């Protein structure tokens, strides 16, 4: 999906990946993150957001909740993370990284609420009246007031399977009434997901979710709650930051933009440069096809193209054959045979945290002096430096 763009816009990443694999520094089934380029992408996003008055929270699930990269993004100016589940929150907390938004897409479990609230996230996203009450109790125990984002949802909205939850518009009056009796929470904003979707060609289109957010804002205002924050996530990048501002949004959540891998980046050159590669190795050949080590396959990733580099540094383009959801990706299949031990490179849309891959964070790629700063598992835990 992104291989051609990576070859053209970040050839040093290609070179570094081949060297690190063929020198035995990294193993197959490893994602390489170009730390320096990710930092440059973050700086560009922050500058653009500052110019239009949008606050950004960086997302890390797609890069395996990586704390080293998170620290670098924070130092580049995007100070707070958005964590999509409580396990990601714990990784950020263990590494003392500030949290901007927790609870969206996954609510914080009740028995973890006190710990999370005490840590001090800027916002917590809430799906239910019961959770509002429980967060209020937790905040009272630790002596804090927690700012809340309400997730809203209507039957006409775009919602991915496995992500259902939120308040219907006809429940918001009751939410407002309840919040008046909860002294340790403040309802500050509204959110939904996804607010933009790629049209498959060249543009991101607003979803009906945005209309639901606008209606919710009015209902809450009519019931005495002035909303100051509109959290407008999905595909936040240089292309969508002006769109967020145009619908009065106040918050965006760049994730794939940090590695230059939103769907738009496969179709056009945006400010963000591709900064992530998947590295594998040819294991064996059979019946005219080559098989390379798997582990990083993501079924929505549009993995199509491969670059195979043998030990003589000869490069060959190939295609990866389709892979069914009913099987485990012990191996993936290249359409043609290749020398055993050859490096396999791919660039596609991934979510590292749902793979079993390693993650190599590499600095110095752009200066021609790549250095592995650390190798992590797909859930953000350090394997070795």
The residue among 283 and 207 whose pLDDT is bigger is 283
| In the predicted structure, residue 202 carries a pLDDT above the cut 80 | no
Pairing of strands 80-83, 99-102: parallel
- Mean pLDDT score, 240-252: 93
Helix, strand, or coil (residue 138): helix
pLDDT bin (cut points 50, 70, 90) of residue 7 is: very high
**Residue given tokens 């596609």 in the structure block:** 348
DSSP string, 210-226: HHHHHHHHHHHHHTT--
Local confidence band at 97 (pLDDT 50, 70, 90 cut-offs)? very high
Residue 135 near residue 148 (C-beta atoms within 8 A): yes
Q: What is the pLDDT of residue 302?
A: 87
Q: In the predicted model, what is the mean pLDDT of residues 114-133?
A: 97
Give one DSSP letter per residue of 75-98, joined into a string: HTT--EEEESSHHHHHHHHHTT--
CATH code matching the domain that covers 3-34+270-379, chosen among 3.20.20.100, 2.60.120.920, 2.40.37.30, 3.40.50.450: 2.40.37.30
- Summarize pLDDT for 62-71 with one digit per residue, the tens: 999 999 999 9
Q: Is the pLDDT of residue 201 over 80?
A: no
Q: What is the pairing mode between strands 30-34 and 358-363?
A: parallel
Question: Is the model's pLDDT at 125 over the cut of 80?
Answer: yes
Looking at residues 51-77, what average pLDDT do you find? 97
Contact present, 317 and 52 (Cβ < 8 Å): no
Q: Which long-range contacts (CB under 8 A, 24 or more apart) does 54-57 make?
A: 54/241, 54/244, 54/245, 54/249, 54/250, 54/251, 54/252, 55/100, 55/250, 55/251, 55/252, 56/236, 56/251, 56/252, 56/253, 56/254, 57/81, 57/82, 57/100, 57/101, 57/251, 57/252, 57/253
Tell me phi and psi for residue 153, to 5 degrees: -155, 140
Alpha carbon separation from 99 to 88, 156, 273 (Å, rounded): 10, 31, 25
Residue 264 has a pLDDT of 85
Mean pLDDT, residues 130-155 taken together: 97
Q: Is the pTM of this model over 0.85?
A: yes
* pLDDT at residue 200, as a whole number: 66
| Mean pLDDT across 184-212 | 87
pLDDT at 50 over 90: yes
- In this predicted structure, what is the pLDDT of residue 223? 96
pLDDT at residue 25, as a whole number:
97
Radius of gyration of the chain (CA): 22
| Per-residue pLDDT tens digits for 217-235 | 999 999 999 999 999 998 8
Residue 196 has pLDDT above 90, yes or no: no
Residue 198 has a pLDDT of: 78
pLDDT for 141: 98
Kindly state the average pLDDT of the residues 6-30: 97
- Taking 90 as the threshold, does the pLDDT of residue 131 lie above it? yes
Is 19 exposed, middle or buried (CB count within 10 Å of its CB: 0-12, 13-18, 19+)? middle
Please give the Cα distance from 315 to 290 (Å, whole number).
15
* Fold type of domain 79-253: TIM Barrel (3.20.20)
DSSP per-residue letters across 166-233? -B-GGGHHHHHHHHTT-TTEEEEEEE-S-SEEE-SSS-EEE-THHHHHHHHHHHHHHTT----EEE--
And the tokens for 69? 């990269």
- The proportion of the chain whose per-residue pLDDT surpasses 70, expressed as a percent, equals 99
Mean pLDDT for all residues in the chain: 95
Contact assessment for residue 334 and residue 290, using Cβ atoms and an 8 Å cutoff: yes
Give the model's pLDDT for residue 186: 97
Extract the runs of DSSP E, i.e. beta strands, from the chain. Answer: 30-34, 55-59, 80-83, 99-102, 123-126, 146-151, 185-191, 196-198, 204-206, 229-231, 251-252, 276-286, 289-293, 305-309, 315-319, 331-334, 343-346, 358-363, 371-377, 382-384
pLDDT (tens digit per residue) in 272-281? 999 999 999 9
pLDDT over 80 at 140, yes or no: yes
* Residue-range domain boundaries for the chain: 3-34+270-379, 79-253
Among candidate residues 242, 221, 183, 269, the one with its CA nearest the CA of residue 54 = 242
- Please give the pLDDT value at position 266: 83
């Amino acid at each position: 999906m992104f291989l051609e763009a990576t070859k053209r816009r970040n050839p040093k990443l290609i070179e570094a990946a081949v060297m690190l694999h063929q020198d035995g520094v990294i193993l197959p089934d490893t994602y390489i993150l170009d730390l320096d380029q990710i930092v440059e992408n973050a700086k560009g996003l922050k500058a653009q957001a500052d110019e239009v008055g949008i606050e950004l929270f960086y997302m890390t699930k797609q890069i395996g909740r990586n704390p080293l990269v998170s620290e670098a993004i924070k130092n580049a100016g995007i100070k707070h993370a958005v964590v999509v589940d409580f396990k990601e929150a714990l990784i950020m907390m263990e590494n003392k990284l500030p949290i901007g938004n927790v609870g969206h897409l996954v609510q914080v479990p009740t028995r973890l609420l006190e710990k999370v609230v005490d840590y001090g996230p800027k916002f917590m996203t809430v799906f239910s009246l019961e959770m509002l009450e429980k967060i209020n109790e937790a905040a009272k125990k630790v002596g804090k007031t927690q700012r809340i984002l309400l997730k809203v949802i209507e039957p006409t909205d775009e919602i991915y399977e496995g992500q259902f939850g939120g308040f219907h518009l006809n429940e918001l009056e009751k939410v407002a009434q309840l919040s008046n009796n909860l002294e340790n929470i403040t309802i500050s904003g509204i959110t939904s997901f996804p607010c933009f979707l790629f049209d498959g060609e060249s543009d991101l289109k607003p979803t009906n979710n945005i209309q639901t957010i606008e209606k919710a804002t009015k209902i809450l205002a009519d019931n005495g709650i002035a909303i100051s924050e509109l959290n407008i996530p999905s595909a936040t990048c240089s292309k969508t930051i002006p769109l967020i501002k145009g619908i009065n949004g106040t918050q965006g959540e760049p994730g794939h933009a940090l590695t230059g891998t939103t769907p738009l980046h496969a179709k056009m050159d945006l400010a963000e440069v591709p900064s992530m590669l998947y590295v594998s190795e040819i294991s064996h050949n059979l019946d005219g096809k080559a098989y390379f080590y798997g582990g990083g396959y993501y079924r929505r990733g549009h993995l199509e193209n491969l670059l195979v580099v043998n030990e003589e540094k000869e490069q060959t383009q190939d295609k990866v054959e389709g892979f069914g959801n009913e099987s485990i990706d012990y191996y993936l299949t290249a359409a043609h045979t290749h020398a055993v031990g050859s490096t396999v490179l791919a660039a596609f849309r991934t979510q590292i945290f749902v793979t079993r891959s390693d993650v190599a964070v590499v600095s110095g790629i752009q200066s021609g002096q790549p250095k592995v700063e650390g190798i992590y598992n797909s859930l953000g835990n350090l394997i070795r430096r």
